[in-house]
A = this chain, B = another copy of it.
Amino acid sequence: MANETPTTGLELRSLVKSEGVLELSLAEVPVAAPGPDEVVVRIEASPINPSDLGLLVGAADMSTAVQSGTADRPVVTASIPPQFMRAMAARTGESMAVGNEAGGVVIAAGSSPAAQALIGKTVGIIGGAMYAQYRVVRAVECLVLKDGATAEQGASCFVNPLTSLAMTEVMRSEGHTALVHTAAASNLGQMLNKICIKDGIQLVNIVRSAEQAKILREIGAVHVVDSSSPTFMEDLVGALVETGATIAFDAIGGGKLAGQILTAMEIAANKTAKVYSRYGSTTYKQVYIYGGLDTRPTELNRGFGMAWGLGGWLLTPFLQKIGAAEANRLRQRVVDELTTTFASHYTARVSLAGALTLEALTAYNAKATGTKYLITPQV
């Protein structure tokens, strides 16, 4: 089938220019011939995750975005506030390919038996530069879907499924027995609910509106607390007492929420304390920040004793830490439950050019819970 492989394909690019301008465009790039252990994947579907937007739009002020170019080859430019250019220094002047993960079909393969065995298979892949029509990847990195599964079903089989599975793994490995999650009505949050319901893990969902609470209750979530409610802290303490959760994964990052979670965990722990300790409870409380939906500073009043930790958390270092065998166990579970536990839902599908319209950019860059875009590069 190698003779069917196109020699070039479109790829979405993000460029920060030294004069303080972000430029998004489509480039026609050569499709490399696969090495012996590599395959060429025709990408059918690639999601726009919050974790993609950092590279795609960087620190640009998208309210200044202007579209030019043609309908087939749109170009979007936006200005980057000068104070953020230092943070962009390492990528300035370098045209970056974007897109963490995708689903597609293997259309060509290198000479190795492992690579050849994948020809015609529908696979999920991860590794960047997925907002493109073709991608050359190592055969061993392909997650081969079950017969009948579509590329769209496999498009989001890494980031959200492995992140939500990893949260339960971290919970167990660090000695906790129940979990707190924020921005909990997100695609990832709904997936985490399905995992926890299936695995019998108690999960406290923190959402930001009554509508989001309703979404989660409808899929069977038991503990849902709404941070916009005047009784938020009482509700949260109540849920923590009931579940005993002492670890949280927080996608919000900024503002007071992480500290409020630690405070509520401390109050819950002290409800069962027998003696006064001037240093607070000895119950260890952990919050991992894995996103930054709120870009303001994180504010901690430290009214939660001394037995606490706050930290950044990312999937990739976690997978490296647990090793290949454990990581493969998690990946296999995703394949096995791809259309149930790990089913993703999209609100819109756009072509590569369609992803660079101001309308689409504004919609997916809002990172609103319930809005999820899928790029379909072959359309």
Contact = CB atoms under 8 A, between A and B. Distances in A.
B273 A90 contact: yes
Contacts of A306: 289-290, 312-314
A87 B303 contact: yes
A65 B308 CA distance: 33
Give the copy number.
2
A47 interface: no
Interface string A294-313: 00011111110111111111
Given A297-B301, A305-B312, 13 more contacts: A54-B278, A54-B279, A91-B276, A282-B317, A297-B300, A297-B302, A298-B300, A298-B301, A299-B299, A306-B312, A306-B313, A307-B312, A309-B311
A254 interface: yes
Interface in A66-82: none
Contact of A310 (B94, B278, B279, B310): B310
A253 B309 contact: no
Contacts of A292: 302
A290 B305 CA distance: 11
Contact of A317 (B275, B307, B317): B307
A289 B276 contact: no
22 contacts: A54-B278, A54-B279, A90-B273, A90-B275, A90-B276, A90-B277, A91-B278, A96-B276, A253-B302, A254-B302, A282-B317, A289-B302, A290-B306, A297-B299, A298-B300, A298-B302, A299-B299, A302-B312, A305-B312, A307-B317, A308-B311, A309-B309
